[in-house]
Structure 1
Amino acid sequence: MVYASSIMSTDSKPSALARRIHGWSWQAFPIGMGTGAVYVTMSGLKNHPSGLTTFETVFYILNIIIFCLNTTTLLLQAIFYPRQSVRLLKDPVKGIFVPLIVLSFATIIIGTINYAVPAGLAGPDFIYGMFWCVIYMVFAIFTCFPMLMIWFNNPHDISKFTPAYAFLVRTTMLVGVVAFNVLKVMQPQDTRALGVLLTGYFFQGICTGLGFFMTFFYLGIYILRIMTTGFLDGHQANGAFVACGPPGFTALALINLGDRARQILPFHGHITERAGEIWYAVSVMGALMLYGLAVFFFFFGVLPYWFKVHKHLNEILGCWALTFPNVGWISTTRALGDIFDLKGFYIVHLIMTIIMVTVWFGLFCLTALAFWRGLIFRSKPEEVIQDTYPLPPGDEEKGVAAAPDHGHGNGH
């Protein structure tokens, strides 16, 4: 810090843009995921007026803009402030948000299928390539395992455990969901459709954390933690909603993949038509039980939420967990309405969609206010300077830890 102080005594001061780039973090991706959650839930409304599609498209475009802004800013940070970039990757709190770049991109693919394909801006071949090459081969694998090696290389306190820790092993959480969306624009007789179907089923097994059962291990640790310490409080109260995601998205994927399976598999002669119906029925039964678990975790998080969460504007980023983890079970509600032809499911889906949109507007305004006040995504001048200039001789080995991250907005 003496070295940093000597630099601060000079006339050079970091610009406002430099402080923003240095202070950016991977916690920005939940904003885009929350934006994607709006058009994903709205697209499933039973009575869907045509004008609503335009409104959803605006959110889809906004999601792309947010994604490009986040990736570009973090890339600039890695170029100009590599020590800060490495520091964020190894941070025990902010590092768990790195895999969200994969999940955020998955919501863009779903939006592309829903809005770009009908408009003639993309075709089945383009969607197939995005699914297989980007989501599966590149993002999911090469983001998941390096972060696992970094995070699990150090011990962690179970008394501070939060479901958000599972982000590290949920980079393929939406593969099953993306798969059945991809199959919407592919013909059942296409041999590639069978590959997408099987890949969706296979990765749905690891969609919620390196194996479906791995997710339940995390949820079991979560229950153990609140049994010993009580409900999550402070910024961690937001993480309680993350527990809704794994069972909710898995239920949604099972229903839709099962529906596609009874169309694709008999067509290719792999199973009989009756076996396809059995496959679908088993998927619905399993999805219904997972749906109940997701709803339970939702109420388990929402009932004590207002009394436990900190009402601090600098912790607003963690509140975005109120949006995207709930998309799975909300969309499953609509799917169950179609299966059992019960109007009550449609009403619940409509109510939750309205709440989702309302929460998004509230969080977006509060996040913009926190950004304007410099409470998030802005580093202190001395931190920027310390990562800008070379360290003095003898301190190179401590480069990564030389400037502790005092960025604002932590919370998961």
Structure 2
Amino acid sequence: MLYNSHWELLLSNQVDKKSFIDEIVKGESIAELYFLKNLKGLLFSDLAIEKFIKREYQYDSIASTTSARKLCTFSSGERKKEFLKHCIAQKPDFIIFDNPLDHLDQLSRKNLEEAITKLAQHTIIIQIVNRKSDLFSFTSNKAQLIDNSFTFHPIDSSEIKESSISKTLLPESLDVGEPMSNPLVKLNHVSVSYEDRKIINSISWEINKGDFWQLIGPNGSGKSTILSLINGDNAKGYGQDLHLFGTKKGSGESVWDIKKNIGYFSTAMMDLFQKNHTLEQMILSGFFDSIGLYIEPTTHQKIVVSQWLEVIKMSHLKNKIFTQLSIGQQRVALIVRAVLKHPPLVILDEPVEGLDDSNTALVTQLINLLVKESSMAILYVSHRIEPNLIPKFIFELIPNENGSIGQIKN
């Protein structure tokens, strides 16, 4: 009987997920899940984990009943594992899993999937995902939701059609400065430790103009540490053999001298753009490195943005409020904002996490266009190996007891 109660649900990014989860908890409006009414349910999601950690900070206590450590001290994979233990300890009738495999390395994904499959023997599982590849296999109850009617449809097995990116030459940069010499980034036997714990150990790596790299490694292996060294935020780079855009770290340069050479995107940036700026204004703000547009752009700058909107086939949306766009459209627009000035290096930190298959295709097509039509070096950070993205090189962090070492995979 319990087996027939589990559901796996594939959601388009057009669906208001928060409202949908609220409806599940109420157990009234969604006929297929009406049986959950009056049952005790919990939500397992990245947001729920963040709220849990905030409570630990707020009360300076360990909120978990299953560990003597605060949740924030665990790596992403272990954090989800510990939070699942906490959820199980509450003895709920059902647990809603919202994209549980996001931000996890392959081993952590496998371990969590095994834990959820085992849990399904005595607890109802409602799994919500945006990617077909993330669906589990322990239930035959599967459905697809495409809009806010919350209607259950059979999952479409057809291939995702190619997305709307114009295959044309990219708009040129307005700032034609001195050409940057190679390497753009050079780490030579760089190590970083925190409180006597070595995170990375003797990392050597070069990024040159036009390179397309993917940075991979298990949760907690030091990817964020590497990125913080490259973008100038990590003080541990001082005194080491670290060269950024032709200058040795600590030679009198400011953080902004480094950052002006980098176009950066991470999913956390989505939270910064919540005001009523239009799509055009949001992209134009990239010329001024501001969150929102507060300086009158030049006619030439507006022309360049219009050209970019043509490339991504969103010209008809230029006056639409940015927050009213689909998540995929927002991601594409923020990536365009990051590359607007043709920086020597573009860092894309997990740009497809949380996207459905259609919007993932949109973002990957834009990345492929940037690789093909520009001289910008691209550093793509993700646990996932996207079949339509083919990096020239892969830099893999391999953990060991003395800190992660680096390995180049062709």
Q: TM-score by structure 2 length?
A: 0.24
**Bigger share in helix:** 1
**Bigger share in strand:** 2
Q: Which has the higher contact order (CA 8 A, sep 6+)?
A: 1
Q: TM-score by structure 1 length?
A: 0.24
